[in-house]
Structure 1
Amino acid sequence: MYQIRTYNKISDKGLSRFSKDQYNVGEDVGQPDAVILRSQKLHNEPLPESVLGVARAGAGVNNVPVEEYTKKGIVVFNTPGANANAVKELVLAGMLLGSRGILQGKDYVNTLGDMTDAGEMSKLLEAEKKRFAGSELAGKKLGIIGLGAIGSMVANAALALDMEVLGFDPALSVEAAWRLSSNVRRMESVQALLSQVDYVSLHVPAIEATRNLINAETLSVMKPNAVILNFAREAIVDASAVVEALNAGKLGQYICDFPEPCLIGHDKVVALPHIGASTAEAEENCAVMAANQLMDFLENGNIVNSVNFPHTVMARGEGGCRITFTNENVSGVLGNVLSVFAANNVNVIDMVNKSRNDVAYNILDLAEKPSEDVIAALKAVEHVISLRVI
């Protein structure tokens, strides 16, 4: 029976994917084969040596020490796209908040609590509503940096609102390109995009290359009334530089899902408490995807949506035995493993070998289960990190 440890509250719809006759699931599982979590920080969390995989029910994996786990042969999964619609809808709400005096008008109305005459209130509001006039989104230019699952959905929704959409993504995948409307105009650089748009929405991961992507230099090329929407990650925006630009009249508004002390109380900032993926539907979708990926990995050795291992899938044949192993991505390892099988008359029926950066992953289907001595010999092959018999 497989052991699954949970952190945080994981949707029951996701956990119910684990059949009770094959899986023991709970917060107190002592020697887990895998872990499923949402926001729990694992950087200082001791992880049992039994763990083979960690699934994050969400897209970001900032709370998981990915590099450390990779060295141990632990596969880290995420759930890209599962919460994309929830974030897309909040981005659209952010654009509307940034274009119309919605919050300002609401705050003003809430100051009229002492008025008792409805007619007088109506007359006053008619006179004051011009203070909260805004502009329509139709005809405005939206720039999107990062055209993955969420960015492409935002782009297509903005086009439906009759906006002109410019996009920048140097690593646009073929899959993402298929999702994206041909009406999105691709830009060659961040600066070229920022200099033209009325709104910019950020949809890139928080990695070293994107840290402080929005900074004093990039802000300097933007229109003085432009609106920045950050529903991606806190680290990609230099908040202090944004405040300086807002105060100097060089930026219109900053709307984000990541409050920081320097942003609190600023009249040109709308900061929400990280609610981008906080919908019942998104939490269910993430949990279901994470559970499905873990089950396929534990039962079949397949890897789908890993942030540190290559996408590796091979259909199961009837009977026989499946072995998976992880190794350092250096030449000769697979050949040495196959020579162990050859020396012990073990027939390999099918196999797949994939690599990603410094790690390689292999799935091999054998005619029959090898002996313990053969397994021990395989584990002793130089550069083999871990090995499983399924």
Structure 2
Amino acid sequence: MKVLVTAKLPDEAVRKLILAGCDVDGHGEVRPMNREELLARVEGAEGLLCTITDRIDREVFDKAPGLRVAANYGVGFDHIDVAEAGRRGILVTNTPDVLTDATADLAFALILAVARRVVEGDRRTRSGQFRFWAPLHFLGTEVSGKTLGIVGFGRIGKAVARRARGFDMQVLYTARKPLEKREEERLGVRFAPLEELLAQSDFVSLHVPLTPQTRHLIGARELSLMKPSAFLINTARGPVVDEKALVETLRGGGIRGAGLDVYENEPELTPGLADLQNVVLLPHVGSATVETRTRMAEMAVENLLEGLAGRRPPHCLNWEEVKGKR
């Protein structure tokens, strides 16, 4: 069985595919596989192990009529046409849960970095601008005791809420369905509609998937509801935020700052974003720990092998639709 792996993975993960009898066509470079390579090399593949940088659509499926499983290395799957895959009998899988703590850690790292001007201070110190200490010099904002608003309260949102308890923060959350009161009390959180959450929070952290309903969930109007002293944190998906509106809001002092790990037109930045001193910009590293990325590879391989063997993969997105077509 030919398997195309579009990203460089840990050797052990690739070895497991080979030992299972797969003919592995692996991408040996750190950079993502480009579109032309993907379309050329997917021909004849029964299995595909892809990442969030690969657009897996009808054109890819047409090139690989024998494709049976598309195993995504990542949680988000908005880059995969899951509906079309289902119509063609192709299983689609992802790697949930494993990156929860790493992403929650990073969200809190961004909260602390923007509040205490960590990156800006590092730049100043390296450039020789640290020449004195003074009571009113380089002031930031305290995190402890402030109000944190969490938009999207799945596994990662809840993990961020647990971390906030260590900083004695008041935590508001919004989700499609409020938790039961006992669960809210256990986590120390309170449900609030989005508008109320935006208006009351000192930090707003985004943790929703990218769907047609969440695209530009945070736009000019929503940003205008936030406190001028508030910060926006995005470790979810870039298009959840209208980046142009964010740049204008930050320029005009509508909010105090932002911490971003994802971007609307990734890896491109909206003009003006990189020029702002009150923004911390990271290169999509929410899950980038050795432990998490290794486990993601293991899960993607496990999903792929189970699907190729005709069994239900542990983390399948469309099993009910596809199982009758196999």
Q: Give me the whole-angstrom Cα distance separating, in 2, the residues matched to 1:299 and 1:238.
A: 43
Q: Percent identity?
A: 29
Where does residue 308 of structure 2 map in the other structure? Answer: 298
Where does residue 144 of structure 2 map in the other structure? Answer: 138
Where does residue 64 of structure 2 map in the other structure? Answer: 48
Where does residue 274 of structure 2 map in the other structure? Answer: 264
Where does residue 290 of structure 2 map in the other structure? Answer: 280
Where does residue 29 of structure 2 map in the other structure? Answer: none
Q: Which has the higher contact order (CA 8 A, sep 6+)?
A: 2
CA contact (8 A) 1:58 1:82 kept: no
Out of 238, 251, 260, the position equivalent to 1:234 is 238
| 1:313-324 aligned within 5 A | none
**One-letter amino acid of the structure 2 residue matched with residue 25 of structure 1:** V
In structure 1, list runs of 5 or more residues that go unmatched. 114-120, 311-353, 363-385
Pairing 1:107–2:123 present: yes
| 1:290-369 aligned within 5 A | 290-307=300-317, 309-310=318-319, 354=320, 359=321, 361-362=323-324
CA contact (8 A) 2:74 2:296 kept: yes
CA contact (8 A) 1:148 1:172 kept: no
Q: 1:87 aligns to what SS in structure 2?
A: helix
Deviates more, 1:132-141 or 1:298-307: 298-307
Q: 1:255 aligns to what SS in structure 2?
A: strand
Structure with the greater alpha carbon radius of gyration: 1
CA contact (8 A) 2:90 2:322 kept: no
In structure 2, list runs of 5 or more residues that go unmatched. 27-40, 264-268
CA deviation digits over 1:248-280, x for unaligned, max 9?
322111210124333121122222222222222
Q: Give me the whole-angstrom Cα distance separating, in 1, the residues matched to 2:81 and 2:258.
A: 30
Out of 46, 60, 66, the position equivalent to 1:33 is 46
Q: Give me the whole-angstrom Cα distance separating, in 1, the residues matched to 2:22 and 2:188.
A: 45
Q: Give me the whole-angstrom Cα distance separating, in 1, the residues matched to 2:303 and 2:147.
A: 38
The verdict on how the C-alpha distance between 1:171 and 1:295 changes in structure 2, with shifts beyond 3 A counting, is farther
CA contact (8 A) 1:75 1:306 kept: yes
Alpha-carbon shift at residue 139 of structure 1 (Å): 0.4
Q: Give me the whole-angstrom Cα distance separating, in 2, the residues matched to 1:181 and 1:49.
A: 51
Q: Give me the whole-angstrom Cα distance separating, in 1, the residues matched to 2:314 and 2:221.
A: 38
Alpha-carbon shift at residue 78 of structure 1 (Å): 0.9
CA deviation digits over 1:267-296, x for unaligned, max 9?
222222222222222221111111112222
Q: 1:212 aligns to what SS in structure 2?
A: coil
CA contact (8 A) 1:14 1:289 kept: no
The verdict on how the C-alpha distance between 1:173 and 1:58 changes in structure 2, with shifts beyond 3 A counting, is farther
**One-letter amino acid of the structure 1 residue matched with residue 304 of structure 2:** L
CA contact (8 A) 1:156 1:181 kept: no
Where does residue 216 of structure 1 map in the other structure? Answer: 220
Pairwise CA RMSD: 2.6
Q: Which runs of 4+ in 1 moved over 6 A?
A: none
**One-letter amino acid of the structure 1 residue matched with residue 133 of structure 2:** E
Q: Give me the whole-angstrom Cα distance separating, in 2, the residues matched to 1:296 and 1:183.
A: 36
Q: Give me the whole-angstrom Cα distance separating, in 1, the residues matched to 2:195 and 2:300.
A: 36
TM-score by length of structure 2 reads 0.83
